[in-house]
Amino acid sequence: MPREKFSIDGQIQQMKSKGIKFEMIDEKEAKKFLASHTYYFRLKFYANNYTKCTTGDKAGQYVNLDFAYLKELSLLDIYLRRVMFSIVMDVEHYAKINLLASLEKNKREDGYKIVAELLKKHPWLGREIERQKAPYTAGLINKYKGNFAVWNIIEVLTFTNLIVLYDFYYSKYNQKHVESDYFYSVRNIRNSIAHNNCLLHDLRATQSGQQEVKDEEICRIVAEIPGIGSSMRSTKLCVPFLYDFVTTLEVFDQIVTSQKERIKRLEVLYLLVNNRFSRHIDYFEGNPVVKTALDFMTKVVSYYRSKNLAGTPTEDLMF
């Protein structure tokens, strides 16, 4: 049977019944935020970072959770998605640039043969291209259908299918490249941002899915980051988003050939995690899941920023 539709007042009462407090932000301000900036179903995702009482009169209610904490996490999530969007878009752009640069130097490849082989091996890919209806790509598809070369097919491939082409090309010619598995972490974040999904909705470690077997190279890289010990490393890399976050920054660092571009993006991310993340860090003093996750991200970003700034003359940082 369908549940009753909640009014704003009903949403507040529902949160109160779950043990969510309105002490740091009163109900009046909470109603304004729910009415103008977000909605209950989305906001409650961030409560996944909090534990519930398991016994007694408060069984099923959240422990030490104020509405202000949910609001803060939702805002941090928005800011993070905005900054990360530029980073994942750069990864996609430079993946294409690097692929075309390699193709240009490859005397064994004319740019058409590899696409023909790819579509023969993966006929579903050709069908997916033909089903595209977007006006921005329809002209290219109609013009080159049946005679695609790498330099025009990359303009109509989804990011997932670009990864397929990328892996197919570099595997065929046995050339050094960014691990294609790493791109799927980039894709996870890219798609979450594109669909406006929450990134910080569950920062607890899990042993399920892709995190059961963590990439040894990613573990080695994180082991080199100052301030991240073995316990933090093993725990945080078992958080799906944090694993994807680190891997995305590693791909970004490897594949973006413009140092200025890398520094520019990392500087914005650094300001976010060092300044905005810490503004209300006291909210999470009683929640090590959130607090240590934000600390982990700050250390990771600081590492990549320092790595790219090392030895760079000040005048070269002007944009």
Is 295 in the same domain as 199?
A: yes
Is 71 in the same domain as 202?
A: yes
| C-alpha span between 159 and 103 (Å, rounded) | 19
Domain count for the chain, please give it.
2
89-113 pLDDT per residue, tens: 999 999 999 999 999 999 999 999 9
| C-alpha span between 67 and 47 (Å, rounded) | 10
Contact predicate 300/225, CB 8 Å:
yes
Its sign, for the CA torsion 70, 76, 78, 81, is: negative
Q: What 3-state class would DSSP assign to 145?
A: coil
Is 85 in the same domain as 184?
A: yes
Q: Examine residue 184 and state whether it is found in any structural domain, yes or no.
A: yes
Q: What pTM did the predictor assign?
A: 0.92
What domain range is 111 assigned to? 107-172
Is 51 in the same domain as 194?
A: yes
Is 270 in the same domain as 207?
A: yes
Is 251 in the same domain as 290?
A: yes
Is 218 in the same domain as 121?
A: no
pLDDT string in tens for the chain (319-residue length):
456 667 889 899 999 999 999 999 999 999 999 888 888 888 989 999 999 998 888 888 999 999 999 999 999 999 999 999 999 999 999 999 999 999 999 999 999 999 999 999 999 999 999 888 788 888 888 898 889 999 999 999 999 999 999 999 999 998 878 888 899 999 999 999 999 999 999 999 875 544 454 688 999 999 999 999 999 999 999 999 999 999 999 999 999 999 999 999 999 999 999 999 999 999 999 999 999 999 999 999 999 999 999 766 545 544 4
Is 77 in the same domain as 212?
A: yes
235-259 pLDDT per residue, tens: 999 999 999 999 999 999 999 999 9
Contact predicate 8/31, CB 8 Å:
yes
Is 148 in the same domain as 58?
A: no
Is 199 in the same domain as 74?
A: yes
Q: Examine residue 84 and state whether it is found in any structural domain, yes or no.
A: yes
Q: Examine residue 11 and state whether it is found in any structural domain, yes or no.
A: no
Phi, psi of 135 (to 5 degrees): -65, -20
